Every structure is written in C-alpha cells, then in structure tokens.
Amino acid sequence: MTLDGEEIRALVSEVADELDATGGDTHTIIVVGGSLLAWRGLREATEDVDSIRRLDDELRRAVGVVATRHDLPLGWLNDHATAFAPQGLDVDACDVLLDRPRLRVLGAPMRAMFLMKLNRSLPQDLEDMRSIWPLIRDEFATATEIVDAFFEAFPAGPDDEHLASFVVDELAKAGYDLALE
C-alpha cells in the first residue's frame, strides 16, 4: 500500500469528519517524514502517515474507522515517529495543513525534516534530504552549520567527525555545492 499526497489529504480529512461528528476537544497531529513530503508534492508516495504528536484513543478510533472504510492497515496514521522528534521543535513554526473544528494538522518545518532525515540517513532519507535542500538552503551557509543544528536537535546523535563531509557529499549527488566550513 502506498499513499500519494492527494490520498493522504483526503484520508486525513475523513478522520476530521469522523471527529467532527462526535464533538469534543480538538486534536493536533504534527505530520513528518515521507507523508509530509508527499503532502507537499516533494515525494511521490509513502506507506503511512507519521505524527510526532501522540494520538489518543479517540483519534485512534477515528483513524480506525477510516482504515476500515478504505481497507487500510489500522496504523496508516500513527505516532511511531514521536521518538524521533527533534528537541526544541517550535510548534508555532509548523505550517497549518488542515484546520478543522476537532482536528488540526500541522506540518513540521522543512529545516526540522532535513535534520530528522539526516538523523536516520537510510537511502530514502538521503533522497528526501536532497529534495528538501532547495527549500532550506538559505538557512545554512556551511555543512558545519548543519551539523551544529543537528546536534542541537539530536544531542544524543552519533559523534561523527565526518558528518559535515557526509552532508556535503550527499547534497553534491543532486548537484548542490555546499561549503564544508
């Protein structure tokens, strides 16, 4: 199963419809990963929708109703990414993707996404970093600045003296020139 941006937006809107029908508190999710990139048209598709904000039981029930309706896995929208959230993420810096009476969907800032992708560094993450780079390139003058931001966001990250060179090399694969220092 893969979901493109249009499908993700439609499914999340259905979750909002389910919540709106019952009344109560507003839920907030912060979409990250491939799902956010697909939502924004920076990636073709993803397998699930990840939030770095925990889903409570009521929200999980609404997600389950939509899953059943569309024959999707129950965890198609999940909070598995909460453990990978960067420290100091400013919720006010997130983009509002959907604002309904009972569901507010935020998209993590692309700078945070880039750092999260660097933290994971699997092949798809490296491709995603190269897709994100044009959107954030003005925020960093050097790879050393990226590494500093990385360790601020992930202080327990791997102590790798070659991380800045790695970033330069990965971005170079997409034709981007970034100074080391």
Per residue of the chain (181 residues), what is the pLDDT tens digit?
Answer: 899 999 999 999 999 999 998 888 999 999 999 999 999 999 999 999 999 999 999 999 999 999 999 999 999 999 999 999 999 999 999 999 999 999 999 999 999 999 999 999 999 999 999 999 999 999 999 999 999 999 999 999 778 899 999 999 999 999 999 999 9
Residue 178 is assigned to a structural domain of this protein: no
Do residues 119 and 51 share a domain? no
Structural domain span for residue 60: 5-108
Do residues 23 and 79 share a domain? yes
Q: How many domains is the chain partitioned into structurally?
A: 2
Do residues 92 and 151 share a domain? no
Please tell me the pTM assigned to this model: 0.94
Do residues 26 and 99 share a domain? yes
| Residue 64, token pair as written in the block | 């389950």
Do residues 95 and 71 share a domain? yes
Count the neighbouring beta carbons within 10 Å of the beta carbon of residue 102: 20
Q: 168 to each of 59, 109, 127, 133, 141, how far by Cα in Å?
A: 41, 21, 14, 11, 12
Q: Judging by beta carbons within 10 Å of its beta carbon (0-12, 13-18, 19+), is residue 91 exposed, middle or buried?
A: exposed
Residue 179 is assigned to a structural domain of this protein: no
Residue 128, SS3?
A: helix
Residue 177 is assigned to a structural domain of this protein: no
Which pairs with CB-CB distance under 8 Å and at least 24 residues apart come from 106-110? 106/28, 106/29, 106/30, 106/31, 107/30, 107/31, 107/32, 107/36, 107/39, 107/40, 108/30, 108/31, 108/32, 108/36, 108/52, 110/135, 110/136
Do residues 116 and 91 share a domain? no
Within a 13 Å sphere around the CA of 103, how many CA atoms are in the beta-carbon half? 27
Residue 49 is assigned to a structural domain of this protein: yes
**Helix and strand element counts for the chain (H, E):** 7, 5
Q: What is the pLDDT of residue 136?
A: 98
Do residues 58 and 81 share a domain? yes
Residue 88 is assigned to a structural domain of this protein: yes
- Domain endpoint, select from 108, 125, 142: 108
Do residues 63 and 136 share a domain? no
